[in-house]
Amino acid sequence: MCHLAHKCLCRAGNDTCKATAATCTWRAPSTLGRIDMAASRLPSHEEQLVDADNGDGSASPSQGAGACGGYGSGIPVVDLGVLINGVAEQRLRAIRDLGRACEDWGFFMVTNHGVPETLREAVMDSCKELFSLPLEEKKEYMRAKPMDPIRIGTGFYSVVDAVACRRDYLKMFSHPDFHCPAKPAKLREIAMEYSACTRGLLLELTKAISESLGLAGGRLSEALNLESCFQILVGNHYPASSRPDDVALGFAAHSDHGLLTLLFQNGVDGLQVKHNGEWVLAKPIPGSFFVIAGDQLEIVTNGRYKGVLHRAMVGGEQSRMSFVSLIGPCLDAVVAPLPEMATDGRGLEFRGIKYRDYMQMQQSKTLDEKTALDVVRVQHHIDMSTCQGGST
């Protein structure tokens, strides 16, 4: 049963919350359960292709070269219960803090989010079961292209990958139309409920983010047509290493193509975010979600809020798994900076682009930090006649 705040958000065509069969209530819980899931070794898709052996392991991975982090690393924390149910003064302070998190980090943790721990465990277990399926039961989706609604693969997009990434993935579009592999059979119902619950959570955060900009709560939703928002669910599996000291790139540095991304993991760290030029290891508060600002938030806010660079490092004898729920604008929405974000002499930083076109471009190219965003960035030409001290 998904518990999301003041009204049922588990609706949209055939995407109905099946946990209650008809109704869904949302309340922000006061306490959250701890993630405590075994990270046993799964074979990668590449290993299955060469019929490699499957083993077990229990060592802890390294956090990766050049990264600092931990609970004291300063990653902002947002209490959704305060954003929704706090008294006026508390809520204003929470919205102001949320705005600073989006501006300074583009990344934060959210607590009291209302998504049951049992549902998170169920979706992770189902994803784990999918990765364990024989290759012949998955290969139908391993030939998929970037805009196909179900994809299973390795790396980012193997056709264009320039850097080897130790990552297997499942990607499935879940809104406005829901898609899911046939196996494992239980995945469909679980993923459908998880999609609806996390979509409601992300839309509530979007409303608060809109307010943090000094706008009406529905302004971003209106501009991006979020009633018909795009949503994708992504399961990631980073295979264990046979060498405990081996630290490698699980997924290259990038920003996400969407608006907001919600992520949780199986208890094995590895997510790093770039903050003030340094890589920071993200260690979650038990039961929380990570929230990652994406490129569409950067565009629509005219660069005030940044899509954060992040990557995954892997190592040790435990597999790492994460599960992602990402929302973006309606695929046919043209995303451009809001006029309200181009005041005080600040010019437009980005040109408008249809979200579908942006997503297809980003998903079809070699993953290279924020180069996709650079394509829509307005180049401001400097009048050299006004420059002092230049060389010829």
Least confidently predicted of 88-92, 171-175, 275-279, 362-366: 362-366
**DSSP single-letter state for residue 218:** T
| Residue of 69, 71, 49 lying closest to 239 (CA atoms) | 49
**Cα separation, 160 vs 371, whole angstroms:** 15
**Cα separation, 64 vs 350, whole angstroms:** 34
| Highest mean pLDDT (candidates 207-211, 248-252, 338-342) | 207-211
Q: Say which amino acid occupies 213.
A: L
Least confidently predicted of 130-144, 177-191, 297-311: 130-144
- Contact (CB, 8 A) for 279 and 104: no
**Sequence-distant (≥ 6) Cβ neighbours of residue 48 within 8 angstroms:** 134, 135
CATH of domain 77-376: 2.60.120.330
For residues 44 and 243, which has the higher predicted lDDT (pLDDT)?
243
List the chain domain ranges.
Answer: 77-376
The structure's pTM equals: 0.80
- Contact (CB, 8 A) for 153 and 170: no
| Residue of 155, 136, 144, 137 lying closest to 237 (CA atoms) | 155
> How many other CB atoms sit within 10 Å of the CB of residue 332?
12
Least confidently predicted of 36-40, 106-110, 181-185, 288-292: 36-40
Task: Please report the pLDDT score of residue 251 as a whole number.
Answer: 80
- Contact (CB, 8 A) for 320 and 61: yes
**Cα separation, 220 vs 158, whole angstroms:** 34
pLDDT above 90: residue 4: no
pLDDT tens-place string over residues 253-289: 999 999 999 999 999 998 999 999 999 999 999 999 9
Confidence at 49, pLDDT banded by 50, 70, 90 = very low
